[in-house]
Structure 1
Amino acid sequence: MTILDAARDGMNPDIRPQDDLFGHVNGRWLDETEIPADKSSWGAFIALADAAEQQVRDIITELADRPAEDLDEDERKIGDLYASFMDTETIAAKGLEPIRGLLDRAHSVADLTQLAAFLGVFERTGGPGLFGSYITPDRADASRNIVYLAQGGLGLPDESYYREDKFAEIREKYLAYLTTLLTLSDHDDPAGAAARVLAYESRLAEGHWEAAETRDVQKTTNHKSLEELRELCPAFDWTTYVTGLGGTEETLRRSIVMQPDFFSHLSTVLEETPIETWRDILHVRVVRSSAPYLPDAFVEANFDFYGRTLNGTPELRARWKRGVDFVEGAIGESVGKVYVARHFPPTSKQMMDDLVANLVTAYRRSIEALDWMGEDTKQKAYDKLDRFYPKIGYPTEFRDYSALTISADDLMGNVASASAFETDRQLEKVGQPVDRDEWLMLPQTVNAYYHPGTNEICFPAAILQPPFFSPDADDAENYGGIGAVIGHEIGHGFDDQGAQYDGDGNLHDWWTADDKAAFEAKSEALIAQYDAFEPRNLPGEHVNGSLTVGENIGDLGGLTIAHKAYVISQGGAASVEDRRTLFLNWSHVWRTKRRKEQELQYLTIDPHSPAEFRANIVRNLDEFHEVFETQPGDGLWLEPEGRVRIW
């Protein structure tokens, strides 16, 4: 049975592919499928993730059943982590005891220096801060790692949730949620504190950039010395904070501040917020971040808002599923090592190596044929393409967790220990050479990524399954599935952000002025096209073309090049039927159904377009119109001059 044979029951033959490829391939499935009660969406990605989750559970429970003397150190840690999460009796008996020390310290904060000290220690052990931070290659020198500082500190998904009328009901429910958390954790003024926290977050949100603006890699690249950081945000004690985090002043000797005016705004908010309100804010942050690891009342309150209200999910996931997530977050590569040995055949890796090589060849031929790009820019594009670094299946070396301390009867202690371990691992990278062999995803993750700072494309083992890939599938199906995913990730190297990085991962303008203008004009045309789209289950709402343009360029280039690579793999010619198969499986890959609450949230914050518009990007491909013989008046018809062609 081929991949599409298994998909045919979900197709709707009454919908013509020329009118709506997504509806044709997935229409009956959309009509008849109920999203599982513990999910906010359902489809190919989620189904594969569920299967991987079950496989990981089998690994964990098998280890738990073995005698302790038969386990190595990592295997014991895996079992103890899972046991600590599943021991609900001990969790209930301890109540608030595991966070009482943090709450007492939060309520003893007397000034901004003590606030910075608290936040450093709190973030080190798993708590959220007032801003985001991460460590990755320096955009000016991709051979070295640097600290990035970004806007953050909100409890709602995005700054727009604090100001737009359509989110007023969510704000009311958020206030009720905060009140519940404060009540459960014995605050002496739950309603008043909740109102003060919401007012503070609303004020902080005024300094946030809108989501689409944060995609501008030029605007978000601002190198700052520690002294300049202090000038930018003088109310925050950076030395005290980074010391509590486990670093030194050297950690922040040089950083990249992504939204400088947010940090200026944060300084103002720090000074104008009374210290009594800061205690309330810290109280909420401690309880909210700890809620998944506390007794059931906290778990339920947290899920009721973040699961039911924001995502529309009726039921909390089974505890074992949340336990698997916890283990993977703490010691995921050790689990991945076992997963790969059991579930990733070596033949799949070799086939993927060949597919990646074919996609790169197809990209090169496509660049050669571009009529809007000059030779100077083409040579730089070839150079970048030649420097792509593919990672397939699993790392060459798995992470060393020997310094991680775990106890089977101390869940919150394990949370803190795992977070501190990861914090130290990250801080050790600052200023050091970039490890090109480090993976940013686990082998058991159903996803893929491109990293512009290392010019790498990564395809974990778990995504290399139907409908994306099968050793037994028709070539056309594999090229329409994983081939297009490979093309998509390569395409990110040439999207609105990636095109500004060179082959070494440095932010470097390698385009001539004319070629850059032509590329930007094509990008703007794609933005305008997507701005007009309304999701079928959210009439009146629109896709944000500026927010999603990078992913849309990835989809457009990925599918175009996957088709070209498939034809190359067939000796330069392929039948109309086989090429149709490629497009049909492309649409099948995006077989997804979301709850309206999640769809609305994702329209606001997610750089990916809804699945229907990802599948139907075929409207821009001459090859689709050719093999399906579309005509003016068809739903997906675009006049040739209106089709966006980039790569």
Structure 2
Amino acid sequence: RVEKERSFFWSKPQSYHKIKMSPSCPRTNFYDHCNGEWINDPSIVIPDEYPRWGSFVVLADESLKNQIAILNQLLEKKQGLSDDQNKLALIWKASQKRFEDWKSGIGGYDDIKAELGKLKTELSSVDDDEKYLNGLGGYLARCQEYGIGAPFSFGQMPNLVDSENLVLSFSPSGLSLPSRDYYVEDKFEEKRGMFKEHLDNIVKLVGADNLQDDFTNRVFRMEMKLAQISMSPGQGRNYDQYYTITDLAGLYDTDKLKHFSGKDENYPANKVAGDASEDTDVLTDPAFKPSTGALDAMKKIVDTMVERLQLKQVLTKNYSKHYSAGPGGDAEVFKTLAFDGDYFRRVFELITRKANRRDFIAYLQYKIIKTGSGFCTKALNEEFFDLYSRKFSGQKEQKTNEKRSVALINEWVGELLGKIYVAKHFPPEDKEYMKTMVDMIIKSLHSDLEHPGHWLTEKTRESALKKLNSFTVKIGYPDKWTNYDKLLLSEGDSLFTMQKKVNAFEHETEFLERLNSPKDKTKWEMTPQTVNAYFHPLHNEIVFPAAILQPPFFHRSLDQAQFDVAVAEGLNPDDVLLALNLGACGAVISHEISHGYDDQGRKFDHQGNMNDWWTEEDAAAFAKQEALMIKQAETYEYKDSSGKIHKMNGKLCMGENLADIGGLALAVKALVTKVGKNTELFKVFFKAWNVIYRSKETEDFAVNALTTDPHAPPSFRGNLVKNVDHFHSAFDVKEQDPMFIPKDQRVQMWGLN
């Protein structure tokens, strides 16, 4: 062992509250054995400002408190603030003033009414086709620029088959409820009723004279139709099957835009109410083809959006600037990735039929109100919280004013705060140790793939190694910070005004400027103060923000362990600490690496391009592992207080479940490589994994997550240890034990050699 590792481990000792292991048998329910005492402790309750409480959320809450302290210290400096620090101060003060004003009864709907007026001006005539279509295209362009929800939007992203370059994208969007399931499944009928009550309340607050007549029914009807032509979250994971590389003109040739064939099964099951019967063809026919009128309308609307946003000029200018080949033809300069052609064959039919036009205007009115709901009145803000957080997630109260202000700063200018955060809370030695851990895991997978007895054929193994050797690892914080110089905020700006400025800034710098340019490999998609990590298939990179590197994920000494870690006689404390860290942050590292080889990540090559590098033989072997994973996932059931059963969607959670198991396998292999096989160290390792998923959730949160979240419930994730052979040997699991899985039923792909 390297001596500097030992000196680092034992620096900065800090004791943490120890949670006892449950007396329940580890062979019965290992997650309950590790976390049952904590879960069943009546003194540990979910705080009213959260819908769940556990390892991730506790760390996130601590990070928020650290950020609040930073901002309060910043405000104590009356003079000498840099431009970046001044932006943080302006947003903070404006946000806090909002709460002070609300407490004093100050607030109003002038900003929302002004935006509703702009919509009314653009769509002044629903009966005149020319005026309606021109106005609709114009206002949807405004939605794009100012971040107002709409049923589709342009974006920029790496070209799926040439990921070094960013191109224009065109995608569905705009549902208000958590997913399609909330609109169409019988078990969410009560939630749909809550949405309608919410819409009724919006009318009372904003005023019926500012909205379309019959506002509630119009919004709900349009949302329902948009949901019925959308994919479910599980279907949406198959993005390799529903993207089309085309150009702006090619968008109108909708027959050539690909879609996920499994979506066709949705349509016969769609229920069409009497007031939507005119759209039965759009909503129920899997083979629906748009009318000539709808295609003409689509061209008019999208052409107007493109013109208002000056997309052709921007694309041409950027292409000439970044690519020496010259201006190129339209197919290159105006290259566009279109997603879910089926949606676009239907959505323009829906929003342009005369019977639906007032419904669609009401829908846009709601999106305007939702966009400004945090900045106008306390009553409106509470109304949106009540539906989306209290009734859909079970969060009883809003977070403190300071935490809400920090959340706004993180949403708008997160890296400005992140730069200060890492200077105060992320010591350089943490980054160096994480690099060591990452190197251990990469070597673990490398030796696995090099083994001639690996289940993958030689050709596929060579490609897998090439991908592994090309991984980019980002730890802590970006090497290059986002530049906010073009964001001009002023003293006295209202939050609504600031939001429009921020959205316009992001539209300019994150959308227009990045179109037709090489991707910036220094960009991060999370701030350093975020408690999370990610793998990006198009960048072939794994990213670990600074804030996650705290107990119970990352330990600098055994004193920081959140469960009793007894050092058995003859064991080196450093080895025990290594087992603790590999079971926690090591398994998280290998989880993210495993994403590069999960059911979706494996479709991308070493350059981040969508490219099938698997032989048919290996793909078939992988499919057998997927089948085993689905079989395990579908055993999970959650029974709510009304007796309804909610099951896990094995396809939705496939990638995360495979990454969890791959993460465990590779991390424990790294432990064995470093210190050999040892039962006591294995026990520490598997307990550490389960402690990071310690969690309590409200019922509404649990149901919502099962429907929309690709991550499995915490208890299921913790008990995935039963797929690892060393777990069975360490805890002497026998065939009659509930945690036992026969060897041939275990999901095992990585870390076997």
**Do Structure 1 and Structure 2 share a fold, with TM-score over 0.5?**
yes
TM range (shorter): over 0.9
CA contact (8 A) 1:182 1:284 kept: no
Q: Amino acid of the residue matched to residue 44 of structure 1?
A: S
Q: Amino acid of the residue matched to residue 569 of structure 1?
A: K
Give CA deviations for 1:428-452 in whole Å, capped at 9, x if unaligned.
1111101111111100000000000
Pick from 13, 19, 37: which aligns with 1:9? 19
Q: Amino acid of the residue matched to residue 226 of structure 2?
A: L
Pick from 400, 411, 435: which aligns with 2:520? 435
Higher mean C-alpha displacement, 125-134 vs 211-220: 125-134
Query: Could you tell me which residue of structure 2 aligns to residue 313 of structure 1?
Result: 395
- Structure 2: distance between partners of 1:622 and 1:334: 46
- Structure 2: distance between partners of 1:504 and 1:192: 52
Q: Amino acid of the residue matched to residue 218 of structure 1?
A: D
CA contact (8 A) 2:87 2:489 kept: yes
Query: Could you tell me which residue of structure 2 aligns to residue 101 of structure 1?
Result: 114
Query: Could you tell me which residue of structure 2 aligns to residue 447 of structure 1?
Result: 532
- Structure 1: distance between partners of 2:22 and 2:303: 62
CA contact (8 A) 1:501 1:509 kept: yes
Q: Amino acid of the residue matched to residue 347 of structure 1?
A: E
Query: Could you tell me which residue of structure 1 aligns to residue 29 of structure 2?
Result: 20
Pick from 179, 196, 220: which aligns with 1:198? 220
Query: Could you tell me which residue of structure 2 aligns to residue 230 of structure 1?
Result: 252
- Structure 2: distance between partners of 1:174 and 1:642: 43
Number of equivalences: 643
- Cα deviation, residue 169, structure 1: 0.8
- Structure 1: distance between partners of 2:338 and 2:14: 47
SS at match of 1:392: strand
Q: Amino acid of the residue matched to residue 400 of structure 2?
A: A
Q: 1:325 to 1:244 in 2, by over 3 A?
A: farther
- Structure 2: distance between partners of 1:407 and 1:276: 38
Query: Could you tell me which residue of structure 1 aligns to residue 38 of structure 2?
Result: 29
RMSD over aligned Cα, in angstroms?
A: 2.0
Q: Amino acid of the residue matched to residue 279 of structure 1?
A: I
Give CA deviations for 1:242-277 in whole Å, capped at 9, x if unaligned.
444564466592222221101111111112254333
- Structure 1: distance between partners of 2:463 and 2:192: 49
Percent sequence identity over matched residues? 31
CA contact (8 A) 1:225 1:255 kept: yes
Query: Could you tell me which residue of structure 2 aligns to residue 405 of structure 1?
Result: 488
- 1:221 paired with 2:281, answer no
Query: Could you tell me which residue of structure 1 aligns to residue 133 of structure 2?
Result: 112
CA contact (8 A) 1:487 1:557 kept: yes
CA contact (8 A) 2:157 2:166 kept: yes
Pick from 427, 447, 450: which aligns with 1:368? 450
- Cα deviation, residue 494, structure 1: 0.2
Q: 1:5 to 1:56 in 2, by over 3 A?
A: closer
Higher mean C-alpha displacement, 527-536 vs 600-609: 527-536
SS at match of 1:293: coil
CA contact (8 A) 1:182 1:190 kept: no
Give CA deviations for 1:403-425 in whole Å, capped at 9, x if unaligned.
00113431111111111111112
Pick from 545, 552, 558: which aligns with 1:460? 545
Query: Could you tell me which residue of structure 1 aligns to residue 92 of structure 2?
Result: 82
Query: Could you tell me which residue of structure 2 aligns to residue 172 of structure 1?
Result: 193
Query: Could you tell me which residue of structure 2 aligns to residue 528 of structure 1?
Result: 631
- Cα deviation, residue 100, structure 1: 2.4
- Structure 2: distance between partners of 1:53 and 1:234: 50
- Structure 2: distance between partners of 1:492 and 1:442: 20
- 1:157 paired with 2:178, answer yes
Q: Amino acid of the residue matched to residue 541 of structure 1?
A: H
Q: 1:163 to 1:536 in 2, by over 3 A?
A: closer
Query: Could you tell me which residue of structure 1 aligns to residue 608 of structure 2?
Result: 505
CA contact (8 A) 2:639 2:645 kept: no
- Cα deviation, residue 10, structure 1: 4.8
Higher mean C-alpha displacement, 278-287 vs 373-382: 278-287
- Structure 2: distance between partners of 1:460 and 1:56: 15
CA contact (8 A) 1:495 1:553 kept: yes
- Cα deviation, residue 42, structure 1: 0.7
- Structure 2: distance between partners of 1:408 and 1:246: 31
CA contact (8 A) 1:451 1:457 kept: yes
CA contact (8 A) 1:500 1:509 kept: yes
Query: Could you tell me which residue of structure 1 aligns to residue 585 of structure 2?
Result: 482
Pick from 159, 179, 182: which aligns with 1:138? 159
Give CA deviations for 1:108-131 in whole Å, capped at 9, x if unaligned.
313122122112213322211212
Higher mean C-alpha displacement, 505-514 vs 144-153: 144-153
Q: Amino acid of the residue matched to residue 662 of structure 2?
A: G
Q: Amino acid of the residue matched to residue 435 of structure 1?
A: D
- Cα deviation, residue 191, structure 1: 7.5
Higher mean C-alpha displacement, 202-211 vs 142-151: 142-151
SS at match of 1:148: strand
Q: Amino acid of the residue matched to residue 106 of structure 1?
A: L
In terms of Rg, which structure is larger?
2
- Structure 2: distance between partners of 1:536 and 1:17: 24
CA contact (8 A) 1:64 1:79 kept: yes
SS at match of 1:366: helix
The normalised TM-score by structure 1 is 0.96
- Cα deviation, residue 239, structure 1: 2.9
Give CA deviations for 1:586-630 in whole Å, capped at 9, x if unaligned.
000000111111111111111110011111101111111011110
SS at match of 2:542: strand
SS at match of 2:163: coil
CA contact (8 A) 1:246 1:424 kept: no
- Cα deviation, residue 224, structure 1: 2.2
- Structure 2: distance between partners of 1:79 and 1:333: 14
Q: 1:536 to 1:463 in 2, by over 3 A?
A: farther
CA contact (8 A) 2:150 2:364 kept: no
CA contact (8 A) 1:48 1:446 kept: yes
Q: Amino acid of the residue matched to residue 645 of structure 2?
A: G
Query: Could you tell me which residue of structure 1 aligns to residue 322 of structure 2?
Result: none
Query: Could you tell me which residue of structure 2 aligns to residue 389 of structure 1?
Result: 472
Q: 1:513 to 1:250 in 2, by over 3 A?
A: farther
CA contact (8 A) 1:481 1:589 kept: yes
- Structure 2: distance between partners of 1:5 and 1:30: 21
Q: Amino acid of the residue matched to residue 186 of structure 1?
A: G
- 1:260 paired with 2:341, answer yes
Q: 1:132 to 1:627 in 2, by over 3 A?
A: farther
